[in-house]
Amino acid sequence: MAIAAAITLPSTAVNHRSLSSPYEASFSSFRLSSSSFQQSSTLKPISVRTGKKPGFRVFSSMSIHAPETSSPTSFLDHKESGILHFVKYHGLGNDFILVDNQDSSEPKITPEQAVKLCDRNFGIGADGVIFAMPGTNGTDYTMRIFNSDGSEPEMCGNGVRCFARFIAELENLNGKQSFTVHTGAGLIVPEIQEDGKVRVDMGEPILKASDVPTKIPPNKDQSVVKARLDVDGLNWNVTCVSMGNPHCVIFSTESSKDLQVDELNLAEIGPKFEHHMVFPARTNTEFVQVLSSSHLKMRVWERGAGATLACGTGACAVVVAAVLEGRTGRSCRVDLPGGPLDIEWREDDNHIYMTGPAEVVFMDQFLSDDALFLPDENYHLDRLCWLKRTNLYS
């Protein structure tokens, strides 16, 4: 089963700005009227309540149709009470549910609801939920994110690229554009390029061990570079970097000069790094293979999300670690399972710049309710065929 559509939220009116952009035809063609959602009398509800917090539900008899051609209103311009629209994006397969939250300084979705939304069997399916919120301390916007396990990370590199494209659609920004974003990792400045990719000034890396944070004793100034760490009976050579969120970067073990990343059992070893006692805030872990002095290949186990197809902050941390270990230059292409990112660690300002894509997948809407109704197979088959016809899903 693939995509679940109607999710419970508190019944609050939500205002959304209309979209007018190269994506407008696709966005507006994916409009679903609230009257399209009908409960089937043959469905059996399954309770998914968490304490007193609302759950969410999906209907199998939902009909999906293209809008009437007479209506110019775009998908995100709806204002129905109790309905909250979202757009799903991905950055190299690292996928997120984007919510326009600019009329409130508190997320419209709870961490518990985010877990259910991100479930790939009974929810929409995503690595996290991202909220576009009012700016803080003079910034244009604030970005917050809940991981698929309900935890809140400081920032997400692929997520901020998706965030930038989402804002461009909301604000009807065309061509090359940049704006300032407040995150838990500090100020981030994404810039949408003419080719549609997003270049992000990720700021300066944090190398001081206590600020990463890690309890591994520093071995190079105040940093941890190629230090030995015993995990599951094997000594790994680790370099610790923070991009506002902690990263443990590994190129080799004590017994092996270089890693062959495709041979790793990430699901087995990843959690052991994430929850290791030397990482008090847990950690993201990157396993890296050097292809050349300007080309790296990595796999990642993300804190709070597990194995993902891409991690933007991880790719940045990998290049920093590669430079510190003398393995590459400061400008590298980093291959991830979902595709490549271009990373540059500049000497002149010590900032790291990440460039990569962010693409819309589909859009839909949440409904208020207390129970989950399982969709049938025909619902999913019909919907996937419709999504493919709109070129928003493949």
Handedness of CA 180, 30, 130, 301 (dihedral sign): negative
Q: Taking the chain (394 residues) in consecutive chunks of 10 residues, what is each chunk's mean pLDDT?
A: 36 36 37 33 32 37 35 48 84 95 93 94 94 96 97 94 95 90 95 94 96 97 96 95 97 89 95 97 97 98 94 97 98 97 97 96 70 37 36 39
Model pLDDT, residue 74: 54
Task: Respond yes or no: is residue 316 known to be catalytic.
Answer: no
* Helix 157-170 / helix 312-324 crossing angle, nearest 10 deg: 140
- What pLDDT does residue 358 have? 95
316: closest CA among 136, 185, 130? 185
Q: Which of 156, 248, 316, 332 is catalytic?
A: 156
Q: Is the dihedral of CA 154, 159, 165, 167 positive or negative?
A: negative
Task: Show Cβ contacts of residue 230 under 8 Å, excluding neighbours closer than 6 positions.
Answer: 236
Q: Which fold would CATH assign to domain 24-203+358-389? A: Diaminopimelate Epimerase; Chain A, domain 1 (3.10.310)
Question: Alpha helices of 198-296 — where are they, by DSSP H?
Answer: 266-274
Angle at 214 between CA 209 and CA 215, to 5 degrees: 100
The pLDDT assigned to 173 comes to 87
Q: pLDDT at position 39, please?
A: 34
Q: Give me the helices (H) in the chain, please.
A: 24-29, 111-118, 157-170, 266-274, 312-324, 377-389
Q: How is 62-87 classified by DSSP, letter by letter?
A: ----PPPTT----GGG---TTEEEEE
Burial 191-211 (b: 16+ CB within 10 A, else e): bbeeeebbbbbbbbbbbebee
For residue 139, the SS3 value is coil
Q: What is the CA radius of gyration of the chain?
A: 22
Per domain, the residue ranges of the chain are 24-203+358-389, 209-350
Instruction: Count other Cβ atoms within 10 Å, centred on residue 90.
Output: 21
pLDDT recorded at residue 374: 33
Q: Which fold has domain 209-350?
A: Diaminopimelate Epimerase; Chain A, domain 1 (3.10.310)
Which pLDDT does position 389 carry in this prediction?
31
- pTM equals 0.73
Topology agreement, domain 24-203+358-389 and domain 209-350 = yes
Identify the pLDDT of residue 241.
98
Considering the candidates 162, 240, 248, 311, report the single residue annotated as catalytic. 311
325 within 8 A of 289, measured Cβ to Cβ? no
Whose CA is closest to 273, among 253, 291, 297? Answer: 253
